[in-house]
Chains A and B, each alone.
Chain A
Amino acid sequence: MRPAARLTDADIAWLEARLREAFTPVVPRAEFIADARQRLLHAPARPKPPRAFNPTVLLAVVLALLSLVAALWFFRRPQ
């Protein structure tokens, strides 16, 4: 084969034909499909990790901070 730095359309067609021949279709064993399915369906449930971003908690924190700022502003006002 020519060690050229470019590929012609004919080169591409030739390589693609070789690739199609090389990658013959494979099928998993029926026993494997059935066994793996059973194992999946009976695998222990993994607990969901806690969410890093919880909108309710975030809202509560923001409201608490706003209340604090408002209270500080109110009490530090000159009488």
Chain B
Amino acid sequence: MSENESELVRRAKTDREAFGVLYERYVTAIYRYVYYRVGNVEDAEDLTARVFLRALNHIHRYDERGLPFSAWLYRIAHNVVVNFHRDQRRHHLLSLEAVAEDPERHPAPAQHSEGDPEAVDQALDAARAREQLLRAIRRLPEDRQHLLVLKFVQGLSNAEIGMIMNRSEGAVKSLYHRTLLQLRTLMAQVEQENRISTSKP
């Protein structure tokens, strides 16, 4: 953590405005993380606000020793998301599957030019492949989804992820490899299910 940030965190324990500066610094990153863990804008906004409220209520307990403030926030975000999924399971709501199944609200990047049928086909194929991949990711265990989002959405290194997940860098690397292996199997399953559902009359 930079000296500037250490000072800011120290002040934020008693000064709301200082906490507001930390909020502005991290809100986009935490929102991105939460969005890809829950899959829709409403829940992502609600849970992001909850993460910061919890951080505000517990910042007096935060001790910088070895754990950057951002890593502490991601830990809170992970706990908030896990609790949310536990509650949602009772209501049969989905997270990343919701992103995949709601392409109008969660569009993939526009890659086709209107009027070009070949480009439109390519864009549709890409959207379908993205949908299947997100569905496969959603079937991974929580800690593996956590790892993928930290790596690909937040762009964190294995060492940084290790700090957040309380694991060594080597353990993260090993978990990542197992995650990719499982993801490949799940992608094949999703593809198979898709083929069966589209072939039904």
Contact = CB atoms under 8 A, between A and B. Distances in A.
A12 B27 contact: no
Given A1-B184, A25-B32, A36 B27 contact: yes
B36 A23 contact: yes
B119 interface: no
B36 to A, nearest CB: 6
A76 interface: no
B152 A23 contact: yes
The size bracket of the interface on B is 35 or more
B153 A40 contact: no
A36 B49 contact: yes
A15 B32 contact: no
A36 B45 contact: yes
Interface stretch (A41-49, A56-64, A67-75): A41-49
A28 B45 contact: yes
Contact of B152 (A3, A20, A37): A20
A11 to B, nearest CB: 7
A25 B23 CA distance: 19
A3 B108 contact: no
A15 B24 CA distance: 33
Contacts of B152: 19-20, 22-23
A48 B148 CA distance: 35
Contacts of B129: 18
Interface of A: 1, 3, 5-7, 11-12, 15-16, 18-29, 32-33, 36-37, 39-41, 43, 46, 48
